Amino acid sequence: MPETPVTFQPKPERRRPEAEDVPLSVLYEDEFLLAIDKPAGMVVHPTYKNWSGTLLNGLLWRVRDQGPIVPSIITRLDKQTSGLVLVALSAVIHAQVQRDAAAGLVKKEYLAVVEGAPSPDSGTIALPLARSPEDRRRVVVTDSGQPSETRYEVLSTTGDQSVVRCELVTGRTHQIRVHLAHNGWPIIGDEVYGTPHPSLNRQALHAWRLRLTHPVTRQPLEIEAPIPPDLRQVMADQNFTL
């Protein structure tokens, strides 16, 4: 009896992101860079689950009449993290910012509201991180992971909760969330690495400030994303002062 021939189905082509009129809050713009204040709940880059309404869709719409510009997202954020996203308007600019970051010329600061009072009140968390073998959506501390470093400083505390400024030395997936939770200070509202919060439907993490050397002018550049209303309310409820 002749063998049945084996047929292989070609993989479906990945769709190219399309320009969409997605509202964007622009913090900084020149011919080389864009900085966007991303709200919590917005996806940064299209995925098979979220192919439209993303920040990249909105960026493509914004530059649609500016010739052959392909915006390239430099600093990505989780869907439920708010704040500053830096965008290069060419591959050359993206590469220069990455070189500057490797040279320590890019500083990324976040604000987090956490459970407990970190002790000491400033320091460095250096713990290797990797995807969990049981659940690839989660990140865990493991000796076989990539070196990861987060600097932190307590800005205000009640003892039960604290506002912490974090600076990324490395930029691993979920790095701040996992580092703080592993040390016993989970970010409030973080349902993956902490616990839900009664008045907040996302993790209390905000990409706050970015300091860098401009990739073309080589002048210092500082950009700040205002603390959004939901986090301001959480801080006000605890009488935090910044």
pLDDT tens for residues 96-107? Answer: 999 999 999 999
Mapped to the 3 state alphabet, what secondary structure does 68-107 carry? Answer: CCCCEECCCCCCCCEEEEEEECCHHHHHHHHHHHHCCCCE
Answer yes or no: is pLDDT of 50 > 90.
no
The answer to whether the beta carbons of residues 228 and 113 sit under 8 Å apart is no
Q: In this structure, which CATH number among 1.10.10.10, 1.10.3720.10, 3.30.2350.10, 3.20.20.140 belongs to the domain 26-237?
A: 3.30.2350.10
List the catalytic residues: 78
Show me where the domains of the chain are located. Answer: 26-237
Rounded CA gap, 134 and 173, in Å? Answer: 17
Q: Which residues pair with 26 in a beta bridge?
A: 36
Q: Place 84 in a pLDDT band, splitting at 50, 70 and 90.
A: very high
**How high is the pLDDT of residue 16?**
79
Q: Which residues pair with 223 in a beta bridge?
A: 210
Paired tokens of 115: 């459970």
Answer yes or no: is pLDDT of 115 > 70.
yes
Is the dihedral angle over the CA atoms 133, 145, 55, 236 positive or is it negative? positive
**How high is the pLDDT of residue 10?**
52
Residue-wise pLDDT for 191-241, tens only, equals 999 989 998 999 999 999 999 999 999 999 999 999 999 999 999 999 998
CA atoms within 13 A on the CB side of 68: 1
Is the dihedral angle over the CA atoms 194, 86, 101, 50 positive or is it negative? positive
Coil, strand or helix at 62: helix
Answer yes or no: is pLDDT of 1 > 90.
no
DSSP single-letter state for residue 32: S
Check residues 13 and 184 and name the one with the higher pLDDT. Answer: 184
> Max alpha carbon distance in the chain (Å)?
81
Answer yes or no: is pLDDT of 2 > 80.
no
- Across 116-183, the runs of DSSP E, i.e. the strands, are 122-126, 129-131, 139-141, 149-157, 161-168
Taking CA atoms, 78 is separated from 40, 45, 85, 159, 205, in Å, by 8, 10, 11, 28, 10
> Percent of the chain having pLDDT more than 90?
82
Rounded CA gap, 169 and 166, in Å? Answer: 10
Q: Place 137 in a pLDDT band, splitting at 50, 70 and 90.
A: confident
Is the dihedral angle over the CA atoms 46, 86, 228, 174 positive or is it negative? positive
Q: Place 5 in a pLDDT band, splitting at 50, 70 and 90.
A: low
Answer yes or no: is pLDDT of 6 > 90.
no
**How high is the pLDDT of residue 163?**
98
DSSP single-letter state for residue 192: T
Average pLDDT over residues 117-139: 95
Paired tokens of 75: 């600093």
**How high is the pLDDT of residue 36?**
98
**How high is the pLDDT of residue 4?**
53
